Amino acid sequence: AEIGWRAEVSPPDHPVSQYEFDVLIGADGKRNTLEGFKRKEFRGKLAIAITVNFINRRTKAEARVEEISGVAFIFNQKFFKDLLAETGIDLENIVYYKDETHYFVMTAKKPSLINKGVIIKVIA
C-alpha cells in the first residue's frame, strides 16, 4: 500500500506522526509557508484564487482524467456555464495538472463565494 503525506511533528513519536493526509491546506496568502510547493505571483485586479493539491494514487480512474492547461471563461464559456449549472460554482479560470499530485488553481467569482458561504461578510 502506498503511504500518503505525513506531517513532521514534535515529539516524533506523537500519534499524529502516523496520520496520513490526502489534502494539505495552506491558507497563508503570500507568505507561502508550505515548504516544497512553488508559488507564482500574478499582479492584477483583486481576485480570490484557490490552489489545491491532492495525492495522485495513480488509479485507473485518475489516469483517465485529462489535464486542463489553463482555461479562461472568455475562451470556453460553455465549460464554465455547465460547471456553474452543475455545481453552483462560478469560476473565472481553472488550471489542472497531474503529476505526483493533482494540482488545481482556480479563481472563483466573488458572488459565487458569497452564495456558497465562503465569504460571510463583504466589507469593501
The domain of 26 spans 15-115
What are the tens digits of pLDDT across the range 48-87?
888 889 999 999 999 999 999 888 888 899 999 999 999 9
pLDDT at 43: 53
Q: Which of 82, 81, 93, 91 is nearest to 113 (CA)?
A: 91
**What 8-state DSSP symbol labels residue 116?**
T
What's the 3-state SS for 66-115? CCEEEEEHHHCHHHHHHHHHHHCCCEEEEEEEECCEEEEEEEECHHHHHH
Per the domain annotation, does 48 fall within a domain?
Answer: yes
| Number of domains the chain contains | 1
Per the domain annotation, does 123 fall within a domain?
Answer: no
Per the domain annotation, does 5 fall within a domain?
Answer: no
Residue 42 has pLDDT above 60, yes or no: no
What are the tens digits of pLDDT across the range 95-109?
999 998 999 999 998
Per the domain annotation, does 73 fall within a domain?
Answer: yes
pLDDT at 82: 96
Per the domain annotation, does 2 fall within a domain?
Answer: no
pLDDT at 64: 95
**Percent of all residues in the chain with a pLDDT value above 70, rounded to a whole number:** 77
